[in-house]
Amino acid sequence: MENDKSLRNWLDALNLNHPLVIAGPCSAETEEQVLQIARELKNSDVSFYRAGIWKPRTRPGGFEGVGAIGLKWLQKAKAETGLPMAVEVANATHVKLALEHDIDVLWIGARTTVNPFAVQEIADALEGTDKIVLVKNPVNPDLALWIGGIERLYNAGIRNLGAIHRGFSTYEKTKYRNIPEWQLPIELQSRFPDLPLINDPSHITGRRDMVKDVAQQALDLNFDGLIIETHIDPDNAWSDAAQQVTPSVLKQMFIDLKMREMTIEEDDFNSKMAKLRMKIDEADTKLLEVLGNRMKVADEIGALKKEKNVAILQNKRWNEILDKMIAEGSTKGLTEDFVLKIFKAIHQESITHQEKVING
């Protein structure tokens, strides 16, 4: 799969002069709502029209989608506007119904990606089709699970594949609904450079006022496209009201978003970039040296604790370190979130070193 350039064929066949855009409401609510949004997105940069038909909710009792009747509404929208249609599927029955209604794009949601049995069921149901199938990252930051879901579809002979990055759940309170953890889609992109990668800023942010900024970050990181929830009356949407934008806002976004060049053939630019990258390499080497020396001190602390029979974890000391580093980090232009991640990782490595010394 790593070197299969055919994975990009479906995207290349669209012959777009802009990033791929999938847009439409979180949920299909009524036939008129589906049609009106499709009409407003016609003749724009939208490549595929999306609408949730089956809505897996965290807890029962909420709106769980209109069901199969919504597929008929999408057929009407496609016939009237010419926009290809996309829906989420979670099992073989969904796949069967979507194929019967000639849906063009199927995506597998985050809650389904976590279940290899469900993904395999979908892959078996899709075997032999040429539909475009997109796989959202699993709820938690598990790259292997994400890749595994894509590979199950690939092994079923499906080549029109793509991945959707919709962020990851976290217990920590952040400004995001689902934290981006950009390093994971970047790693996926590195391993499978021919696999189209699409960003979902709506689910990452959970807030319509942040959608454009995250979309720009994705384009800056060379994502192939965006999937953005769009509604004619977002405040009164039946699901995920806070994160949906209007068609007019979406169209303005197309104007405001900037595409970056992968590289440019200018001697001055390349010379300056080479020097700056050399500085980065030197800084990274020094950083590893500092971390290595810090862990040597952690080994010494472990030996002293072992000698005096003292517990490894010292919460008071740890909290003092965090407060101090967050304050110092801010003076160096580092965000609190970044400092927390770095020092939590360092602290865990330090504990591991001390455990080896004490139990060795």
* Separation between Cα atoms, residue 159 and residue 272, nearest integer Å: 40
Distance between start and end Cα atoms, the chain: 43
For 168-229, the DSSP string reads: B--SS--SSSSB--THHHHHHHHH-TTS-EEE-HHHHHSSGGGHHHHHHHHHHTT-SEEEEE
pLDDT tens-digit series, residues 40-84 = 999 999 999 999 999 776 667 678 789 999 999 999 999 999 999
Please, what is the angle between helix 315-331 and helix 336-359, to 10°?
A: 140
Across-strand partners of 162? 134
Could you tell me which residues come within 8 angstroms of residue 257 by beta carbon, excluding any fewer than 6 positions away?
Answer: 19, 212, 215, 216, 219
Could you tell me which residues come within 8 angstroms of residue 144 by beta carbon, excluding any fewer than 6 positions away?
Answer: none
pLDDT tens-digit series, residues 77-114 = 999 999 999 999 999 999 999 999 999 999 999 999 99
The reported pTM is 0.79
Q: Look-up: residue for tokens 């696999």? A: 195
Task: Identify the structural domains of the chain with CATH numbers, from first to last.
Answer: 5-256 (3.20.20.70), 267-359 (1.20.59.10)
DSSP letter assigned to residue 163: E
CA dihedral 324, 326, 328, 333 (to 10 degrees): 180
Which token pair is 169?
């759940």
- SS3 call for 114: coil
Please give the average per-residue pLDDT across 29-50, as a whole number.
Answer: 97
For 223-268, the DSSP string reads: -SEEEEEB-SSGGG-SS-GGG-B-HHHHHHHHHH--PPPS----HH
Please give the average per-residue pLDDT across 272-284, as a whole number.
Answer: 88
20-24 and 161-165 strand pairing: unpaired
Looking at the predicted structure, is the pLDDT value of residue 263 above 70? no
Could you tell me which residues come within 8 angstroms of residue 1 by beta carbon, excluding any fewer than 6 positions away?
Answer: 7, 150, 151, 154, 192
The alpha-carbon radius of gyration of the chain (Å, integer) is 24
Residue 262: its pLDDT value, please?
Answer: 64
pLDDT tens-digit series, residues 206-217 = 999 999 999 999
